[in-house]
Every structure is written in C-alpha cells, then in structure tokens.
Amino acid sequence: MKKLIETIPNFSEGRNQAKIKKILSCFENARGVTLLDHHKDPDHNRLVVTAAGPAGPLKNAVLNAVDVSVQSIDLRKHKGEHPRMGAADVIPFVPVGDTSMEEAVALSRDVAKEIWRRYRVPVFLYEESAADPERKNLPDIRRGEFEGLAEKLKDPKWKPDYGDPVPHPTAGAVAVGARMPLIAFNVNLDTNSMAIAGAIAKAVRHQNGGLRHCRAIAINLRQRGIVQVSMNMTNYVSTPLYRALEMVRMEAGRYGVNIMGSEIVGLVPMDALIQSSAYYMGLENFSADQVLEMKLAE
C-alpha cells in the first residue's frame, strides 16, 4: 500500500451547484488525489466530500477547497438542519492502510496552521489531534454554532489552537483533526418494536455501559415493518464489527428476537472485513498481505 490518508471535509453549502462544483474541482483536479465520494444535502445545506491521497497533494487540495469555501460561503446568511460553525466546518483526516495515526495527526496540524496563516480562519484541533482531552469531541467544540462563536471564543477555555480568539467574519471557525475511520453499521431485527431496538441500542453502546467505540440508536424502518439498531463504530480496530453484531444478537435473544441482516453504509476499510472473516472462519495466522488486491495496490 502507498502511504495514503483519507479526508472527509464538510462544507456549509448543500444547495448552490456552482459553489459545490468549485469545491469538488479542488479534489478532482489535484494530481495524486482521488475524489472517492461526495454527498450534498439541501436540507442540511452541507457538502460532505470523501477524498484520499498522499499527505502532500491532499494538503494542497484541502487548502484550495477551504480557500474556495471562505471566499464563497457567508455563514451570516447560512441556514440548514445540520449544526455548523464554519464555511469549511470540519476536516477529519483518516489514516489508510500502512499510514499511522501519527502521520494523520501531523498532516492535520500542518493543514490547521496553514488555514490560519493563509485565510485567517481560527482552527480547533479535535479528536486524535486535540491538545487537550476537553477538545476531543466535535459536538463540544461546535456547541453554540456560528451564531454563538464570537461569545464562545472570548472564554480562555475556548481559545483556538491556531489563530486569534475572534471568528472569521463570514467563515467562522473550523475543526481539523485526525481520527479512525468511522463505520456506519446497522443491524436489522425481526420485530417492529422500537422499545426492543432501543433497549438493545442502549445495551451495546459505550454511553450506557456497552462497547467502548460504539454509538447506537434505534431506527424505525416503517416501510419494511421492522426496526434497526443503527451504529457508528468509531474505532473498528479496538471494537470490531463482529463483536457489535454478536452483542446485538445476544441481547436480542432475551426478547426472542432474531437478526434479519445487517448493512454497512458507505465505505469500509478492508481490514474490518478481514477481522470479521477471521473471527467467523476461525482463520489462524491470516495477514492482509495474503489478499491479492492489497498486494496489487502497492
């Protein structure tokens, strides 16, 4: 594997096609960078880009996109369902393959520094890049949103990691950080009882005593007449998918409920599937090097 990093920058523009196109072109036209996916939502009024590449080209592509967003998005006029505090709102970097978390953290710091230096937008470092455990959690940083930002930055506790404690007048502030890939993993149950799905979600999630790197809520799939435990697995290395699945199965058993199936939404690292295969097949001494496509991707 080449040393690749994935980024999933979120921009506060989900409606204006011309602006969206201009942001995407920063990734499409960057040599060595692959635009993997993008999702624009007019209700959220937000654009989520997924791209990957080596640190150097990826840094340039991200900075160009931040430049476009600062020039074209005015948060004073922005409305949408999704919480936001900046034109470029949050920029996570995720290590891929042989890349270490340290390398992703280094890139995030580098990008953060340049965002302040070039565009005068204050930056918070979050997740693995956070200097302070209080700043790991994005919702804490973003609480109060753009509208509350000027007031919030006056609090010494919320001094930005880079930049002056004053929001950019139109572009607010941005959170930049390295994190593990997040896997959206849903398990469908053969019941329509939201009470049961809720009890299982509570049992498996970290917040209420469940698995360390698992967030979970109950979702009603009305059209199929069933319910779902919808999970965000925030560190699949420490808390593998199969463990969450088997814990859902175990908890469902007490209600006489079975698992109908599961789904992975969006991208999943190959390693996460290898973990599951190795667990269920009892594979001994298996290495990702044995996967033909991984060797070919070198």
**82 catalytically annotated:** yes
- The first and second tokens of residue 265, run together, are 């939404």
Give whichever of 45 and 99 is closer to its own copies, judged by the CB atom: 99
Give which of 191, 203, 192, 212 is closest to 251, Cα–Cα. Answer: 203
* CA distance linking residue 148 with residue 167, whole number of Å: 10
Q: 204-213 long-range contacts, Cβ below 8 Å, gap at least 24?
A: 204/229, 204/231, 204/244, 204/247, 204/248, 204/251, 205/231, 210/247, 211/239, 211/243, 211/244, 211/247, 212/238, 212/239, 213/180, 213/238, 213/239
Using rule CB under 8 A, residue 290 touches its own copies: yes
Task: Compose the 68-107 pattern: x for residues touching its own copies by CB under 8 A, - for all others.
Answer: ----------------------------xx----------
Task: Compose the 23-62 pattern: x for residues touching its own copies by CB under 8 A, - for all others.
Answer: -----------x-x---------------x----------
Give whichever of 242 and 255 is closer to its own copies, judged by the CB atom: 242
Query: Cα–Cα distances in Å, from 116 out to 12, 59, 160, 164, 263?
Result: 18, 14, 10, 9, 40
Q: How far apart are the first and last CA of the chain?
A: 4
Give whichever of 87 and 226 is closer to its own copies, judged by the CB atom: 226
Site for its own copies, residues 256 to 275, rule: CB under 8 A: 259-264, 266-270, 273-274
Give whichever of 85 and 104 is closer to its own copies, judged by the CB atom: 104
Catalytic residue, chosen from 38, 44, 78, 82, is 82
Site of interaction with its own copies (CB under 8 A): 1, 4, 6, 34, 36, 52, 96-97, 181, 188, 241-242, 245, 259-264, 266-270, 273-274, 276-277, 280-286, 290-298
Q: Residues with catalytic annotation?
A: 82
